[in-house]
């Protein structure tokens, strides 16, 4: 076995394919300055007249696109094409197979006006996005630029618009980055102005210049046309914006001018570590550049291995505030081969990695355990992961330690339950296992039971629990969760709560920072993390009063009124409770209910309205918090934006549902596309030291 592995490793070493590139990524001047507009070109697909000159298609073939290549070719040579010439490029080793595929396609083609098809080897290291064929484009009028995905995911009409484009001097295609806000175009039949297009698109041959990225192509176009326009995006009924929506949106946020990351996201100070990023390709790396660069600027040693990157080109964007080196195998490999090669590469590094960051789609990587902290993130969460760039080495090393259990408490509000579960499913969990416990009261109705039965949860296990004797709200909540270890945290959710898709970001960030970060930031007094922002204080003896943390802090001249803060009020509308404190609460409650030391009706906390609450677990939690000076962490985003909200629905505590009451408690949720807010609105763009957090008492007064 071992011998076999040695041999296969040797074989791999024989192929001296490790290509090393240097790239410079900038956080400044990412977008070239716009020339003044000249109004020289008309917008919209320009004219609807079909284009009448010669049209050349460029089709790159790679190992992974070879199987679908014949479909691409069939589309290009089909009956309704205006393509007059097809230039196929592929790496040397694929020449024979590609030639075969072409021959087969020509044989079955029914069109007598067949375009010419020629095949061109592409060297492993070409830095032009047009490949090596740009010199062959002189005799053509317009070029149809494809990437290895061909026409995949495009509607018939969009394909047609590419195969027989309308006349005009602007590049046009269904995918790209819009100039309005530098984010990915949402497919639309209305033409949208682009900073640059992504393949497939058609472009006048006169605008084709060697360029090393699609962004650079857009720059050439807008410079040549002098109208700030890198192309037009027009799509006819495509449902999928795969290229863009998922892969580019954060890249483009990143490319818009921002100050250097070191200034933006004050890194937690502390020790420095060695981080290895194992990623498939440059596109994927681009999604997490903000994170990688932030860590690089912090001073961590950052190494990037792109194991399936075939493009041997590099991108240079402006100045050099973030200078990264990546290595690549220069070709795609089977997973097993890749793992061997990655392992070899890791062994060759002079420093041992503290943290290895990879995608969770390599199942065998999970078993690869050499003592480093392995972090595996789903591809679809990468573009929401920039917040990880502020984690300190200690926090990174504890990434896999805390476990957050979700405990849902429900009875007979099926619509509410459905809404809560749907919001949970929309959450982003960054590859973490999150188990759910669904607690049903004895009196739960059939609809509620059906919803529970049908709920699918893909991030962990679902445990259901139903009472046989009605418990009432105190046991329903208090018994809904109990920690197994000191690294288990309980997110308690009554069913009238709804979550932000980013709630887990806030929870994980806060728990890593205040529980596993620097010693000075951990306090025994912190008993939980609220997802919800207080908009009212309920505990004044006179009744509810409006509460606004930002104005309170501004009044008291606190340096940054937008800081998260500590409050003694336990939140019951979406909050995580810490294990030691929850166990203590169980003991406290058992004692208190037994009336061994004092009568149940006696007050513990002077002058708070909760003394008059009956059947409330929170009343007793308030007592414990008061006796022990415990505090809960609260978010403090603009407009009360929160990671959970409460819909104030009729239930055990709420008898009717006046609009005024709903308005008093409902807060906006931080949505997925607002992920930047999570850090951007924090003072210094990261969680403050524990000592710097303002503290508010049960009735909303600031401790000074």
Span near ligand NAG by CB under 6 A; candidates 13-21, 177-185, 256-264, 323-331: 177-185
Distances (CA, A) of 631 to 494, 527, 560, 642: 21, 6, 20, 18
DSSP E strand boundaries for 481-574: 488-494, 497-499, 526-530, 536-537, 545-546, 565-567
699 in contact with ligand NAG (CB under 6 A):
yes
608 in contact with ligand NAG (CB under 6 A):
yes
- Which residues 528-557 are close enough to bind ligand NAG by CB under 6 A? 541
Sheet with 631-634, edge to edge strand ranges: 462-466, 436-440, 403-410, 488-494, 575-577, 526-530, 631-634, 565-567, 695-696, 702-703
User: Is the Cβ of residue 349 or residue 612 nearer to ligand NAG in the bound state?
Assistant: 612
Which DSSP symbol is given to 166?
A: B
Single out the residue of 49, 580, 663, 673 in contact with ligand NAG (rule: CB under 6 A): 673
Element (H, E) at 582: helix 579-594
Distance CA 93, CA 114 (A): 27
* HSE, side-chain direction, 13 A CA sphere, residue 247: 14
Supply φ then ψ for residue 283, to 5 degrees.
Answer: -60, -40
User: Is the Cβ of residue 240 or residue 487 nearer to ligand NAG in the bound state?
Assistant: 240
424 in contact with ligand NAG (CB under 6 A):
no
Span near ligand NAG by CB under 6 A; candidates 329-337, 498-506, 663-671, 696-704: 696-704
Distance CA 397, CA 391 (A): 10
User: Is the Cβ of residue 346 or residue 622 nearer to ligand NAG in the bound state?
Assistant: 622
CB of 230: closest distance to ligand NAG in angstroms? 15
CB of 317: closest distance to ligand NAG in angstroms? 21
Single out the residue of 109, 163, 292, 698 in contact with ligand NAG (rule: CB under 6 A): 698
Print burial letters for 347-367: b (CB count within 10 Å at least 16), e (below 16).
eeeeeebbbbbbbeebeebee
SS3 699: coil
CB of 321: closest distance to ligand NAG in angstroms? 24
By residue count, the chain amounts to: 704
User: Is the Cβ of residue 372 or residue 610 nearer to ligand NAG in the bound state?
Assistant: 610
User: Is the Cβ of residue 610 or residue 686 nearer to ligand NAG in the bound state?
Assistant: 610
Single out the residue of 181, 325, 442, 443 in contact with ligand NAG (rule: CB under 6 A): 181
Asked if 408 contacts 493 with a C-beta cutoff of 8 angstroms, the reply is yes
632 in contact with ligand NAG (CB under 6 A):
no
Asked if 258 contacts 210 with a C-beta cutoff of 8 angstroms, the reply is no
The site for ligand NAG, by CB under 6 A, has a size of 16
629 in contact with ligand NAG (CB under 6 A):
no
User: Is the Cβ of residue 181 or residue 652 nearer to ligand NAG in the bound state?
Assistant: 181
Distance CA 507, CA 429 (A): 10
Single out the residue of 256, 612, 629, 652 in contact with ligand NAG (rule: CB under 6 A): 612
Alpha helix stretches (DSSP H) within 320-461: 335-348, 393-397, 414-425, 446-454
235 in contact with ligand NAG (CB under 6 A):
no
Distances (CA, A) of 40 to 43, 219, 232: 10, 17, 15
User: Is the Cβ of residue 402 or residue 501 nearer to ligand NAG in the bound state?
Assistant: 501
User: Is the Cβ of residue 355 or residue 675 nearer to ligand NAG in the bound state?
Assistant: 675
Single out the residue of 7, 180, 336, 627 in contact with ligand NAG (rule: CB under 6 A): 180
Helix count and strand count (H, E) for the chain: 20, 29
Query: Which of 10, 86, 68, 671 lies closest to 384 in space, CA to CA?
Result: 671
Structure tokens at 283: 């596109």
627 in contact with ligand NAG (CB under 6 A):
no
Radius of gyration of the chain (CA): 30
602 in contact with ligand NAG (CB under 6 A):
no
Single out the residue of 26, 72, 183, 610 in contact with ligand NAG (rule: CB under 6 A): 183
CB-based contacts of 430, cutoff 8 Å, min separation 6: 377, 378, 381, 385, 388, 504, 505, 508
- Which residues 33-92 are close enough to bind ligand NAG by CB under 6 A? 39
CB of 431: closest distance to ligand NAG in angstroms? 25
Structure tokens at 681: 């609105």
255 in contact with ligand NAG (CB under 6 A):
no
Span near ligand NAG by CB under 6 A; candidates 127-135, 180-188, 362-370, 413-421: 180-188
552-591 mask for ligand NAG (x: CB under 6 A)? ----------------------------------------
Supply φ then ψ for residue 523, to 5 degrees.
Answer: -130, 140
User: Is the Cβ of residue 40 or residue 156 nearer to ligand NAG in the bound state?
Assistant: 40
User: Is the Cβ of residue 370 or residue 673 nearer to ligand NAG in the bound state?
Assistant: 673
25-44 mask for ligand NAG (x: CB under 6 A)? --------------x-----
CB-based contacts of 336, cutoff 8 Å, min separation 6: 364
User: Is the Cβ of residue 455 or residue 565 nearer to ligand NAG in the bound state?
Assistant: 565
Asked if 176 contacts 231 with a C-beta cutoff of 8 angstroms, the reply is yes
CB of 154: closest distance to ligand NAG in angstroms? 19
Single out the residue of 15, 186, 366, 590 in contact with ligand NAG (rule: CB under 6 A): 186
Span near ligand NAG by CB under 6 A; candidates 155-163, 331-339, 523-531, 694-702: 694-702
Span near ligand NAG by CB under 6 A; candidates 111-119, 366-374, 631-639, 693-701: 693-701
614 in contact with ligand NAG (CB under 6 A):
no
Which residues of this chain interact with ligand NAG, rule CB under 6 A?
39, 178, 180-181, 183, 186, 541, 605, 608-609, 612, 673, 697-699, 701
């Amino acid at each position: 076995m071992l011998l076999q592995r040695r041999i296969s490793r040797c074989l791999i070493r024989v192929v001296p394919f490790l290509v090393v590139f240097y790239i410079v990524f900038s956080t400044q001047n990412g977008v070239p300055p716009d020339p003044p507009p000249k109004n020289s070109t008309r917008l919209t697909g320009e004219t609807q007249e079909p284009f009448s000159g010669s049209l050349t298609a460029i089709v790159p073939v790679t190992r992974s696109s070879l199987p679908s290549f014949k479909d691409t070719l069939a589309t290009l040579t089909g009956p309704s094409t205006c393509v007059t010439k097809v230039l196929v490029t592929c790496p040397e080793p694929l020449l024979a197979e590609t030639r075969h595929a072409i021959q087969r396609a020509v044989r079955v083609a029914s069109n007598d006006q067949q375009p010419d098809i020629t095949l061109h080897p592409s060297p492993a290291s070409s830095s032009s996005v047009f490949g090596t064929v740009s010199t062959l484009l002189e005799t053509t009028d317009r070029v149809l630029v494809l990437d290895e995905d061909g026409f995949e995911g495009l509607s018939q009409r969009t394909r047609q618009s590419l195969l027989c484009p309308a006349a005009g001097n602007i590049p046009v295609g269904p995918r790209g980055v819009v100039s309005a806000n530098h984010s990915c175009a949402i497919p639309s039949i209305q033409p949208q102005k682009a900073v640059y297009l992504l393949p497939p698109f058609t472009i006048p041959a006169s605008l084709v210049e060697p360029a090393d990225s699609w962004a650079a192509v857009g720059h050439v176009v807008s410079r040549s046309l002098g109208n700030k326009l890198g192309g037009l995006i027009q799509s006819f009924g495509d449902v999928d914006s795969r290229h863009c929506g998922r892969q580019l949106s954060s890249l483009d946020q990143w490319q818009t001018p921002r100050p250097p990351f070191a200034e933006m996201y004050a890194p937690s100070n502390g020790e420095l570590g060695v981080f290895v990023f194992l990623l498939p390709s440059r596109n994927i790396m681009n999604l997490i550049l903000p994170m990688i660069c932030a860590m690089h600027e912090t001073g961590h040693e950052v190494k990037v291995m792109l194991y399936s990157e075939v493009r041997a080109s590099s991108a240079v964007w402006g100045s050099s505030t973030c200078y990264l080196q990546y290595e690549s195998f220069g070709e795609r490999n089977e997973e097993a081969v890749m793992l061997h090669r990655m392992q070899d590469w890791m062994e060759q590094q002079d420093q041992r990695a503290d943290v290895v960051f990879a995608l969770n789609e390599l199942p065998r990587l999970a078993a690869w355990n050499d003592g480093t902290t392995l972090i595996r993130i789903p591809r679809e969460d990468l573009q929401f992961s920039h917040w990880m760039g502020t984690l300190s080495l200690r926090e990174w090393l504890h990434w896999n330690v805390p476990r957050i259990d979700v405990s849902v408490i429900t009875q007979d509000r099926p619509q509410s339950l459905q809404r809560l579960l749907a919001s949970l499913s929309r959450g982003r969990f960054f590859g973490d296992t999150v188990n759910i416990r669904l607690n049903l009261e004895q009196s739960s109705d059939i609809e509620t039971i059906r919803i529970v039965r049908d709920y699918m949860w893909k991030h962990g296990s679902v445990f259901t629990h139903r009472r046989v004797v009605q418990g009432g709200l105190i046991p329903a909540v208090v018994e809904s969760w109990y920690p197994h270890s000191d690294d288990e945290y309980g997110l308690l959710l009554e069913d009238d709560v709804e979550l932000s898709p980013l709630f887990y970001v806030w929870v994980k960030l806060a728990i890593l920072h205040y529980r596993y970060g620097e010693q000075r930031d951990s306090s025994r007094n912190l008993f939980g993390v609220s997802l919800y922002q207080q908009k009212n204080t309920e505990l004044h003896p006179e009744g509810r009063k409006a509460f606004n943390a930002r104005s309170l802090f501004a009044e008291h001249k606190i340096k940054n009124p937008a800081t998260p803060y500590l409050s003694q009020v336990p939140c019951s509308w979406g909050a995580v409770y810490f294990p030691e404190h929850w166990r203590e609460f169980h003991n406290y409650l058992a004692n208190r209910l037994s009336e061994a030391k004092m009568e149940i009706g006696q007050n513990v906390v002077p002058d708070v309205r909760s003394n008059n609450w009956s059947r409330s677990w929170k009343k007793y939690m308030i007592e414990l918090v008061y006796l022990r000076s415990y505090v809960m962490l609260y978010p403090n985003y603009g407009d009360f934006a929160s990671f959970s909200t409460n819909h104030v629905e009729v239930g055990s505590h709420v008898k009717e549902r006046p609009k005024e009451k709903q308005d008093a408690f409902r807060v906006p949720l931080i949505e997925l596309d607002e992920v930047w807010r999570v850090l951007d609105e924090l003072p210094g763009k990261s969680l403050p030291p524990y000592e710097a957090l303002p503290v508010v008492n049960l009735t909303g007064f600031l401790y000074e």
